[in-house]
Amino acid sequence: MPVKTFASHDALDALARAQDGVVTYRQLVELGLPSSTLAHRVRTGGPWQRVLPGTYLVFSGAPSWRQRVRAALLYAGQSALVTGQSALRLYGFKSASHLPSVHVLIDHRQRRVSHGGLRVERSHRMPAGHEILGLPCVPAARAVADACLFLRPLQAVRAVVAEGIQSQRCDLAGLWNEVIAGPMRGSAYLRRAVREVSGGAWSAPEIELAELLTTARVATPLLNAALYSNEGTLIGIPDGYLPEYGIAYEVNSVAHHLDRLAWEETQRRHDRMTAAGLIVLHVTPQRIRDAANEVLSEFRGAIRSAEGRMLPQIVVGDRPSPAA
């Protein structure tokens, strides 16, 4: 009676389907695949390929990013979680990098090392995992914090932090917990960005413009302040407000204007603010970065126009949360 050299092709096919086409050496041994068969399949030009030590893709061709993530998790161990920009990409952050590298978190007692395009980070603070698109990830706040430890420049860190809050994938309390409990090394930009968002800014361009105006000693704006009439009617919540001059401003992106409903709401808010006597300026993120001097000149001109005139009767109220 012939001896079977392999337990089940069906079992291998099922395992590969469940793991995005990626299997480990240990799993193959448990299925009964002979080492000689494995060596033959991963030979140069063979139908399989080695992705990481002890981790194989049972297809030819370059592995997809998802297959790289799956291989990283299998290599790193059962409790590994996707973190950093890799997790942000799975969460759907527009500001996340789409580089092919993968970042995973493992318990500090485990012994796995970074390899090629894989960053393995050991941690004493392993969080509970969340399954995102079928892959185990750290919570969004931890992903933001871990990503920002390696992100540069400051503008990129601001964009990730602001998107996390604006999209409601995480909240300020969660981010502050990560700032306090996380490492000091490399966290300066993260701490600064979280402080800025705590102060009212909800997007990176808003922070950039407020910093530009403050650094140039033009004015220090109130960010996302709710403006009311004396009768208590909400006039609008501009991105920035200069109360000493009665000047409000909006930071409007091209994408914002492509959204008809968003554009119409901006126009209605503009009309309400100008009807209340405010000077209203509109600036795009591109101009903040590429024409800063021109933007400053426009603000200085608006301030000169406001000098000597009677300020509108505006009451500044508590700003709502981004979900409002």
- Answer CATH for 204-317 from 1.10.150.80, 3.90.1260.10, 3.40.50.2020, 3.40.960.10: 3.40.960.10
Compute the half-sphere exposure of residue 240: CA atoms within 13 Å on the CB side of its CA: 27
* Chain position carrying tokens 């406001």: 306
Q: Which two tokens stand for residue 205?
A: 């361009």
What per-residue confidence (pLDDT) applies to 255? 58
Q: What pLDDT does residue 318 have? A: 62
Token pair belonging to 218: 């033009």
Distance CA 185, CA 86 (A): 21
- The ranges of the chain with pLDDT < 50 are 1-4, 321, 323-324
CA distances from residue 57 to 107, 114, 157 in whole angstroms, order as listed: 25, 19, 34
Q: Tokens standing for 108?
A: 């500090």
- Are 99 and 58 spatial neighbours (Cβ–Cβ below 8 Å)? no
- Predicted pLDDT of residue 18: 94
What are the start and end residues of each CATH 3.40.960.10 domain in the chain?
204-317
CA geometry: angle at 277 spanning 216 and 279, to 5°? 25
The pLDDT value given to residue 258: 54
pLDDT for the residue numbered 3 = 43
